[in-house]
Structure 1
Amino acid sequence: MEFKGKSLLITGGTGSLGKALTSHILREHSDIRRLIIFSRDEQKQFQMAQEYPVESYPQIRFFIGDVRDKPRLVRAFKGVDYVIHAAAMKHVHLAEYNPEECIKTNIGGAQNVVDACFETNVERVVALSTDKACAPINLYGATKLTSDKLFIAANNIKGDNPIRFSVVRYGNVMGSNGSVIPFFIKRKKAGQDLPITDENMTRFNISLQGGVDMVMHALKHAWGGELFVPKLPSYKILDVAEAIGPDRDKPVVGIRPGEKIHEEMITPSDSFYTYDLGTYFAILPATHKWSLDEFKKTFNAKKVPAGFSYNSGDNDEWETVETLRSLIKEHVDASFAFS
């Protein structure tokens, strides 16, 4: 895929994945013309600009704005070739207590991004989803499912416009802002206990680099309308706590509003449209403008069995206490000393 002379914009670009994408793109595609970081947090933009001074990184631009503000998006998208939509309100319990705000950002903002892309002739768009959008039981998941549908459906109204919209869905990003691992590490260092919501709780696990690789794969290979799902290991929340603080108490405090015991990324109902691509699964749109036979041939795609599902509690691959410790040292806190 050509990046030389191209412009790429990341909404929510000051978040964990946005920063990882920025590092990857500047390292691997230094011939990019512009890399635009679009977000609403001026303090995070100020801090990120210290990491990427214009003297050393003349390609980078910082653009303050909110995805709720369509005119601002249209202005930011002018001359942009590729968009990665990572902006979202993401905390499950906060969305439960502030539903209107979550809807404005995650649904209204998604539609604004779609509309702005059409108005400015963006070529390719990748939107970030979440495992919580699959069979959602909380508002956050429901808004992200709606967002997924908006981006996928946008391919049906593009006419002769060559733009391609796709979605990537993955599990908890190890060490990202708001995730459980930094929370546990902070409490461990403070000599506090590690509260467990439920001893049976499981989650999918992906590294920041894994998330970056998946976004770049979708940006390069999507034909339009695919929802990509990675093949990931699961972990038990109790094993995470044991890996970080084997000498700490682990009281069970109960699940928070909107939490699941296990996460799904593909439901049995999705199986009728799901194909195995090797590293990833792809849930294909019910209607599309390209040849399914050609798609299967190009990617050696194999249809999954009817009734197939992908659930963190029924996974075939699991992290252990030992592998979690190694991953935490590698991806989260290399200096952390485990007891």
Structure 2
Amino acid sequence: MRKKLEHWQVVTLLLMAYDFLAVVMGYFVALWIRFDCQFSEIEPSYFRTYSTTILFYAVFCIVVFYALRLYKSIWRFASYAELLRMVLATVVTGAAYVALVTVTMQRMPVSYYIFGILIQFVLTLGIRFSYRFILLMRGRKNETVVEKRVMIIGAGEAGQMILRDIKNAKELNKKVYCFIDDNKNKWGRYIDNVPVFGGRDRIMEAVEKFSIEKIYVAIPSAKPEDKREILRICNETSCELMNLPGIYQLCTGEVLVSKMKPIQIEDLLGREPIKTDMTEVFEQISGKIVLVTGVGSIGSEIARQVAAHRPKQLILLDIYENNAYDIQQELRKKYPELKLDVVIGSIRDSRKIFQVFEEFRPEIVYHTAAHKHVPLMEDSPCEAVKNNAMGIYKTAYAAMAHDCKKFVLISTDKAVNPTNIMGASKRLCEMIIQAFDAKIREGKANEIPQLFTHGILNEVVTSEEITKALKTTTTEFVAVRFGNVLGSNGSVVPFFKKQIEAGGPVTVTHPDIIRYFMTIPEAVSLVLLAGTYAKGGEIFVLDMGEPVKIDTLARNLIRLSGYTPDVDIKIEYSGLRKGEKLFEEKLMAEEGLKKTKNNLIHIGCPIPFDIEEFLKELDELLEAAYKNKEDMKERVAAIVTTYHMA
């Protein structure tokens, strides 16, 4: 069966035929020019020499071209390398032709050789680069129809590299129309024919003047406050925003359009990201047995960070198997050598909790398991108390009884002067660990009431081993209090994104409601650091900067999604929900603050309360919670004096 030629092979044969004709015609034209473009004036001996040698020479040229791979290049990508090879081929063949004719035939006019070589070079080179030229022109024609009009923020090295990358990659269908830079010396000047229009105050003007559709922010070395201000201005436009993540890309030469990332809502927070030295934290984790209760957004990130720093063993406990399964598979794939155990169970199950501590003997516990949804807990206050307050009571008691070294509670700013049962239950959690810490310091942990709803009293808790452990326990209890976490389960951001994807409206409870925000990595860094700084009984508080208006947050999210607030996506105000307040506080006024080694992390001094009375009240509260008493909020308010029921 006859094999069909590939397309490139057909092109090669046609190019060879063209080169053959180009050489023959080129030298004929050279001879014709030599005799003043009069064919009749050409001397017969010269024409005879041309006729005798030219066919052999043309074949020789094809052989040389083939040897120099001029028939194997992809000419749509022809570049400087192909040009050099074409020059070399022309010089070699021309020199060989001069020598051949002079030695075997006669000396031809010098102008014949000069014009012949030049015409041969132009004809053979021209056909090759004309293909790329045609594609280039076609691309430009298409570009005028579909190209995106781009503005680059930053006329420094990073901005110039982005411009170069856009120009070199025509398939991106983008064109840069202007630069913005705060350096006045650059204003009114040009970078590769692109004007530096002005400073940040002219961003809106430039967007309108040049009909900008996309903005690349290429200022990796800018101060965080300057970058945030520029991003906020850009976010007021309807343009798509892309950001160069940091100075790392500039140092490594990876300043490419492909390395640009969409602007995230975190980029618009009113403060610098928390940067912490985690060396001490991970030295403490390394070689330890670590338990994480609750593996939602915060718990799973804690698990990732811990797993990355060689713990002796990592145990994950959660009642929800889907979360547990997802993080289990992720960690097993990423850290195949990690000794990982995943336990399905509830922190409200006394027997299960004791079993976990008895089997694994964790040295560090990060307690993130809790009910956190404010409106749902308002409708189910007994569940908030059972899960949050009693859940930590049982877990913390088991930690003491099994000689756990550190116990870190994840708290919330909603525990400060709470107006909802969820916040009040988290304040109960803080008071529980403060009470436990005080008892440990007095050497009376064994006197802490055993508030269990399962029959383990005679089976386990009164054993000699447990009794001895409670008398000598040195567990350090600490709470970490922070605000809303961007992207976490229950966060307003994913909720807004779903509403935007559905076409709106975006529902904000009140135009003036404000909240403190932090990112998941920041929250986890704080939690891990708390374990390092812990001396016992502290409530760590993060300085989260200025609070963010939820209305502003919603509008920024709409813009980042490519829509215009109140035009493409409506914003509706639904009114404050039951138990919700306009602002959250980070700290009760009575607590005061102490500094830590990190300027952005503070310690709240515990508010004194009658620990003995508190522990007795908890016993009664537990009984009422499991009987689902309707006056649960009133009972909690009697214990948490800062709780103001809605």
Given the two structures, how large is their TM-score scaled by the length of structure 2?
0.43
The question of 1:229 aligning with 2:541 is answered: yes
| CA deviation after TM superposition for structure 1 residue 53, in Å | 2.4
Partner deviation per Cα, 1:7-31 (whole Å, 9 max, x = no partner): 000111x20001111111122x1x2
| Aligned mates of 1:286, 1:270 — CA distance in 2 | 6
The question of 1:71 aligning with 2:392 is answered: no
The question of 1:40 aligning with 2:319 is answered: yes
2:542/2:601 contact within 8 Å kept? yes
| Aligned mates of 1:172, 1:4 — CA distance in 2 | 29
User: Which secondary structure does the structure 1 equivalent of 2:487 belong to?
Assistant: coil
Residue aligning to 1:238: 551
Question: Which structure exhibits the higher relative contact order, with contacts defined as CA atoms closer than 8 Å and separated by 6 or more residues?
Answer: 1
| CA deviation after TM superposition for structure 1 residue 102, in Å | 1.0
Given the two structures, how large is their TM-score scaled by the length of structure 1?
0.80
| Aligned mates of 1:2, 1:48 — CA distance in 2 | 23
Letter in 2 for 1:21: I
Letter in 1 for 2:423: G
Partner deviation per Cα, 1:144-165 (whole Å, 9 max, x = no partner): 0011000111111122422100
2:588 to 259, 267, 291: 267
Residue aligning to 2:329: 50
| Aligned mates of 2:580, 2:438 — CA distance in 1 | 33
User: Which secondary structure does the structure 2 equivalent of 1:261 belong to?
Assistant: coil
User: Please, which moves more after superposition, 155-164 or 104-113?
Assistant: 155-164
The question of 1:60 aligning with 2:379 is answered: no
From the superposition, tell whether residues 44 and 57 of structure 1 become closer, same or farther in structure 2 (CA, over 3 Å): farther
| Aligned mates of 1:99, 1:268 — CA distance in 2 | 26
| CA deviation after TM superposition for structure 1 residue 192, in Å | 1.5
Map 1:1-339 onto structure 2 (within 5 A): 1-12=283-294, 14-27=295-308, 29=309, 31-53=310-332, 56-78=336-358, 79-158=361-440, 159=443, 160-233=472-545, 234-245=547-558, 246=565, 247-271=568-592, 274-277=593-596, 278-285=599-606
| Aligned mates of 2:514, 2:605 — CA distance in 1 | 27
Partner deviation per Cα, 1:54-85 (whole Å, 9 max, x = no partner): 77253221011101011211121232100011
From the superposition, tell whether residues 267 and 284 of structure 1 become closer, same or farther in structure 2 (CA, over 3 Å): closer
| Aligned mates of 2:332, 2:307 — CA distance in 1 | 12
User: Which secondary structure does the structure 2 equivalent of 1:169 belong to?
Assistant: strand
Letter in 2 for 1:8: V
Partner deviation per Cα, 1:292-334 (whole Å, 9 max, x = no partner): xxxxxxxxxxxxxxxxxxxxxxxxxxxxxxxxxxxxxxxxxxx
| CA deviation after TM superposition for structure 1 residue 276, in Å | 3.2
| CA deviation after TM superposition for structure 1 residue 243, in Å | 0.5
| Aligned mates of 2:421, 2:321 — CA distance in 1 | 27
Partner deviation per Cα, 1:190-225 (whole Å, 9 max, x = no partner): 211111100000000111011111111111111001
Partner deviation per Cα, 1:162-192 (whole Å, 9 max, x = no partner): 2100000000001101111111111112211
From the superposition, tell whether residues 218 and 264 of structure 1 become closer, same or farther in structure 2 (CA, over 3 Å): same
Letter in 2 for 1:33: K
User: Which secondary structure does the structure 2 equivalent of 1:191 belong to?
Assistant: coil
| Aligned mates of 1:102, 1:218 — CA distance in 2 | 25
Letter in 2 for 1:241: A
| Aligned mates of 2:605, 2:501 — CA distance in 1 | 45
| Aligned mates of 1:286, 1:237 — CA distance in 2 | 31
| Aligned mates of 2:365, 2:397 — CA distance in 1 | 12
| CA deviation after TM superposition for structure 1 residue 286, in Å | 5.5
Which is greater in Rg?
A: 2
| Aligned mates of 1:39, 1:244 — CA distance in 2 | 32
Partner deviation per Cα, 1:83-108 (whole Å, 9 max, x = no partner): 01100011011111111111100111
From the superposition, tell whether residues 202 and 60 of structure 1 become closer, same or farther in structure 2 (CA, over 3 Å): same
Partner deviation per Cα, 1:244-298 (whole Å, 9 max, x = no partner): 1134111111111111100011122222xx22332212112367xxxxxxxxxxx
| Aligned mates of 1:85, 1:70 — CA distance in 2 | 15
What is the RMSD computed on CA atoms of the aligned residues?
1.5
Letter in 2 for 1:96: E
Residue aligning to 1:290: none
2:411/2:426 contact within 8 Å kept? yes
1:130/1:141 contact within 8 Å kept? yes
Residue aligning to 1:292: none
1:9/1:77 contact within 8 Å kept? no
1:202/1:235 contact within 8 Å kept? yes
